């Protein structure tokens, strides 16, 4: 499992101001900490970056590369900023992201090809968010076809089904899992990724890791290739590294219909079991789901 660290982000209370002031220290520290925590890629998210986005992305890539050799995922909707970042990347970059909106597609696919980068194929359609697993399949076929036409091979395409918060739409949470089980057949050789923390957006901070971890295990059942994650959650990193096989096996058995007796489980297993029930829609999400 490839872990892409999410924390270098314009939305962050400390790093946002550092980016705007071009103050390298906090950004260098975060990049170093993410690398030490076990990240495989670092995501650099500068948002829409309408003002001087190209200069900001170039500066960010150079700042991060001064302290780590890890490959980078460049996260911006501004194609001029994207190219400025790609131009200075020293390893094969990941373009985060290319979606099916015609203007984005036309601007970004040529960049992926020109810089021999990989790309995240975000399944955001002309009409916005896909409604179910079926629409995700149709978008995948469309996106992969257009990337192939541009000369981008499947191995460089990481499909992202777009994870929604559990507190917003449980059907979308289930659709992403269902879609992952079909991806290998509809797009052989393509990779996959998700913005994992999206699942717990809007839930209390101390409860977020349990939702993130459990959803990661559920997605792993269908061979998830990578995820954009909070790499400072050490239990999450252990799961991704295959160091918690008993939890993985419990969650996957439950997804196959097994209903374990909670009294027979360890306290940690009980937390995962209760969270699986919420994420597969068997029990309703509430902030107190672990207490019930």
Which residues form the interface with ligand THG (CB under 6 A)?
Answer: 6-7, 9, 11-13, 45, 75, 96-97, 120, 122, 160, 162-163, 195, 197-198, 228
Would you call the peptide bond into 97 cis, given omega within 30 degrees of 0 as the criterion? yes
Instruction: End-to-end CA distance of the chain: give it in Å, rounded.
Output: 32
**C-alpha span between 144 and 285 (Å, rounded):** 35
Nearer to ligand THG, 63 or 198 (CB): 198
Nearer to ligand THG, 228 or 254 (CB): 228
Nearer to ligand THG, 140 or 197 (CB): 197
Q: How far is the CB of 11 from ligand THG (least distance, A)?
A: 6
Q: How far is the CB of 8 from ligand THG (least distance, A)?
A: 9
Helix, coil or strand: residue 104: helix
Nearer to ligand THG, 188 or 204 (CB): 204
**C-alpha span between 43 and 91 (Å, rounded):** 13
Burial class (CB in 10 A: 0-12, 13-18, 19+), 118: buried
Q: How far is the CB of 75 from ligand THG (least distance, A)?
A: 5
Q: How far is the CB of 16 from ligand THG (least distance, A)?
A: 8
Q: How far is the CB of 188 from ligand THG (least distance, A)?
A: 21
Nearer to ligand THG, 60 or 254 (CB): 60
**C-alpha span between 272 and 238 (Å, rounded):** 15
Q: How far is the CB of 229 from ligand THG (least distance, A)?
A: 8
Interacting residues of 222 by C-beta distance below 8 A, sequence separation 6+:
177, 180, 181, 183, 184
Nearer to ligand THG, 46 or 273 (CB): 46
Would you say how long the chain is, in residues? 292
**C-alpha span between 288 and 292 (Å, rounded):** 7
Nearer to ligand THG, 259 or 287 (CB): 287
For 6, the enclosing helix (H) or strand (E) is strand 2-9
Q: How far is the CB of 15 from ligand THG (least distance, A)?
A: 7
CA 69 and chain centroid, separation: 21
Closest residue to ligand THG, based on beta-carbon distance: 195
Task: Specify whether the CB–CB gap between 27 and 19 falls below 8 A.
Answer: yes
Task: Specify whether the CB–CB gap between 238 and 261 falls below 8 A.
Answer: no
């Amino acid at each position: 499992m490839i872990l892409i660290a999410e924390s270098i982000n314009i939305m962050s209370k400390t790093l946002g101001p550092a980016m705007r002031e071009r103050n390298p220290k906090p950004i260098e520290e975060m990049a170093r900490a993410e690398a030490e925590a076990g990240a495989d890629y670092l995501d650099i998210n500068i948002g829409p970056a309408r003002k001087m986005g190209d200069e900001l992305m170039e500066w960010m890539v150079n700042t991060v590369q001064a302290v780590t050799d890890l490959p980078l995922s460049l996260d911006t909707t501004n194609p001029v900023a994207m190219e400025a970042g790609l131009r200075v990347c020293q390893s094969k970059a990941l373009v985060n992201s290319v979606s099916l909106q015609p203007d984005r597609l036309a601007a970004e696919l040529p960049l992926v090809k020109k810089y021999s980068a990989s790309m995240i194929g975000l399944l955001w359609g002309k009409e916005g968010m896909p409604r179910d697993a079926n629409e995700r399949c149709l978008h995948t076929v469309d996106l992969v076809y257009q990337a192939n036409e541009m000369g981008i091979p499947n191995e460089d395409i990481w499909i992202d089904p777009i994870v929604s918060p559990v507190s917003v739409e449980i059907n979308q949470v289930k659709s992403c899992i269902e879609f992952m089980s079909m991806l290998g057949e509809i797009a052989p050789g393509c990779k996959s990724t998700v913005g994992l923390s999206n699942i717990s957006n809007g839930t209390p901070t101390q409860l977020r890791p349990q939702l993130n971890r459990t959803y990661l295990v559920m997605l792993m059942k269908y061979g998830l290739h990578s995820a954009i994650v909070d790499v400072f959650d050490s239990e999450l990193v252990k799961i991704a590294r295959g160091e918690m096989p008993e939890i993985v096996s419990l969650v996957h058995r439950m997804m196959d219909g097994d209903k374990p007796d909670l009294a027979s489980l360890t306290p940690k297993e009980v937390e995962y079991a209760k969270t699986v029930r919420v994420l597969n829609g068997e029990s309703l999400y509430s902030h107190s789901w672990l207490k019930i």
